Amino acid sequence: MKRVTVSLNDRSYDVVIGSGARHTLAVEIGRCAPFAQRVVIVTQPSVVAAGWLEGIETGLAQSVIEIGEGEDEKSLSTIQSLCSQFVEAGLSRNDLVVAVGGGMVSDVAGFAAASYHRGIRYVTIATTLLAQIDAAIGGKTGVNLPEGKNLVGAFHQPSVVFCDTDCLATLPPKEQACGRGEMAKYAFLSGETPSTALLNETIDDQVARCVAIKAAIVAADEMESDRRMVLNYGHTLAHALEAVGLERRAQGINDRVAELAHGEAVALGVLFAAALAENLGRIDHERVELHKSVIEGFALESSLPSGLSGVVLIERMERDKKAHHDLTFVLDGPRGVEAVTGVDRSVVLTTLLEMGAEQ
């Protein structure tokens, strides 16, 4: 198995990567929470059905709480319900939460842990590719509001993360695509010359490479004041697409936008960011084609779904957490990927229209 350390002084922790990683849970709990007596495992019915809780031993008194599936369950009401159940389970400040599932589970369970007793420990067993390479690492926890994605949350670092690559064997195609969409951005974030090399590595090596890149960025900028913003490469449009999807689902509309998974939206966002960077004169067309090669190499869609308004997408992007009353994007350029503020609205709209959005 491989280990990558997220170096954050007294909040440092290890990411354990490889086949069977989850079976070392009890040993790791003994190291990171020696005074814990109780554990609450937060998971979802689909994870239980897949059998990923079987064989998980904490060595402590434990109970299981299942939360709902889907982004609509990533809400403040879910946090309230979880915290109430933590009280019923008798969790103290020395006890801990174990999140077993994908990115939604780690986001929600981590935020509940950050809020309960003003913060208790949590660990994550990441069962999806998206969670293993991104969502479970770095301590960003939170939930959605009707107005947008991840608008309420906290920075709360886990005590250890397990990336058990055995869990990836049962992922449905959509979840595989979701993870690959997030993985694609890492081809441009390592600080090395971007290439398609990531496409040809084994899954364990792909996960370890992405985790190492993210760990280095988080260690340099834990609270996302500067450098860490590059991890949002592709996310400004992605979150806008997801916000529109949330609105459509609330209206009972089940079209392609409503069905977009996070990683699929990120892949589209990465392509949009490359096209926008070219239109701003930051990169050349060859670099845009490299982005397309990576996205297409991961068998991801490269065209916006039909029926999207460019104006509406811009309105949603203006609500992005990175924005300061302007349009802010993470874009490729001469110095590599970096945050760019005050981007001209007309250029953004032109780029969206070129990708197939409507006026």
Candidate list 214, 282, 316, 322, residue with the active-site label: 214
Q: Which of 149, 185, 228, 322 is catalytic?
A: 228
Please indicate whether residue 239 is annotated as part of the active site.
yes
* Residue 262 among the catalytic residues: yes
Catalytic residue chosen out of the listed positions 28, 175, 222, 224: 224
Query: Which residue among 180, 209, 235, 316 is the active-site one?
Result: 235
228 is catalytic: yes
User: Is residue 156 annotated as a catalytic residue, yes or no?
Assistant: no
Q: Are strands 329-331 and 338-340 parallel, antiparallel or unpaired?
A: antiparallel
Query: Do 6 and 218 meet the contact criterion of CB atoms below 8 Å apart?
Result: yes
Q: Would you call 235 a catalytic residue per the annotation?
A: yes
Active-site annotation holder among 9, 118, 286, 335? 118
Q: Look up 224 and say whether it is catalytic.
A: yes
**What is the DSSP pairing of strand 2-6 with strand 38-43?**
unpaired
- Classify each residue of 137-162 as buried b or exposed e, where b means 16 or more C-beta atoms within 10 Å of its C-beta: bbbbbbbbeeebbbbebebbbbbbbb
Q: Is 292 annotated as catalytic? A: no
Write down the catalytic residue from 140, 156, 185, 291.
140
Q: Which of 22, 121, 209, 239 is catalytic?
A: 239
Residue 17 pairs in a beta bridge with 2, 163
Among 22, 144, 175, 232, the one annotated catalytic: 232
- Identify whether 73 is a catalytic site residue: no
Q: Which residues have a catalytic role annotated?
A: 118, 140, 182, 214, 224, 228, 232, 235, 239, 262
